[in-house]
Amino acid sequence: MIHRRKVKSMPPGIGMTSQGTRDRLVRRLRDHGIRDENVLNAIAMTPRHEFVDEALSSRAYEDTALPIGLGQTISQPWVVAKMTEAVLDCGSPQKVLEIGTGSGYQAAILALLVPSVFTVERIEELLKLARRRFHKIGLHNIYTRHADGHLGWPSQAPFDAIIITAAAIELPLGLLDQLRIGGILVAPIERGGMQRLLKIQRTEEGYEEEDLGGVIFVPMLSGLS
């Protein structure tokens, strides 16, 4: 499904030296089934090299996950694009909650596509770095919170969509309760010893689930760090 949204512009000059490399990444994502042109445009506009350590910047536009320290990773661009497409399937979301800010890359992509992104991170050091990146590239519609992701952000609920960037052992019912009726939660969930990317839509009667395929994420942990 192609969603007709206007993708916000990045400030001029940010990361433009890598534009050709980013365009090649977009072509690869399109070849691997990503169809939403607004998602692809957001990927093309976002300087992924700003979200990884300088030593890995030459690999920033490979379609692969990369380490960001503290046992965490920046997700593979195809997975980011797939999860973002799934979030946009709920229509025109106004408020999206992300659990697991990490490097900030997923939130940055979302921030070009929806009016407000709320993102929660349990590791304070990562959150501070992400905040600086958001400020540097001029993304001012991202709201951050240092908290246990299992708690979500109840004071801002309900959300039109929730995206979880770490693998949960079971469906996070507390987070599902923070979805509006018709809203979508996208998350990697353990199933039969494997991680499956699930798209779960809240309905008047309960929840509808769609399996989007196998993925590999770091585990979703409790507590603060």
d(CA 49, CA 51): 5
Q: 21 vs 13, 25, 61, 75, 133, CA distance in Å?
A: 15, 6, 7, 18, 20
Instruction: Count how many Cα atoms sit within 13 Å of the Cα of residue 116 in the half-sphere of its side chain.
Output: 11
Please confirm, yes or no, whether 225 is among the known catalytic residues.
no
d(CA 183, CA 176): 9
Buried b (16+ CB within 10 A) or exposed e, 46-72: bbbbbbbeeeebeebbeeebbebeeeb
Q: Which of 9, 18, 75, 92 is catalytic?
A: 75
Q: Which DSSP category does 163 fall into? A: E
Q: Which DSSP category does 222 fall into? A: -
Which are the catalytic amino acids?
Answer: 75
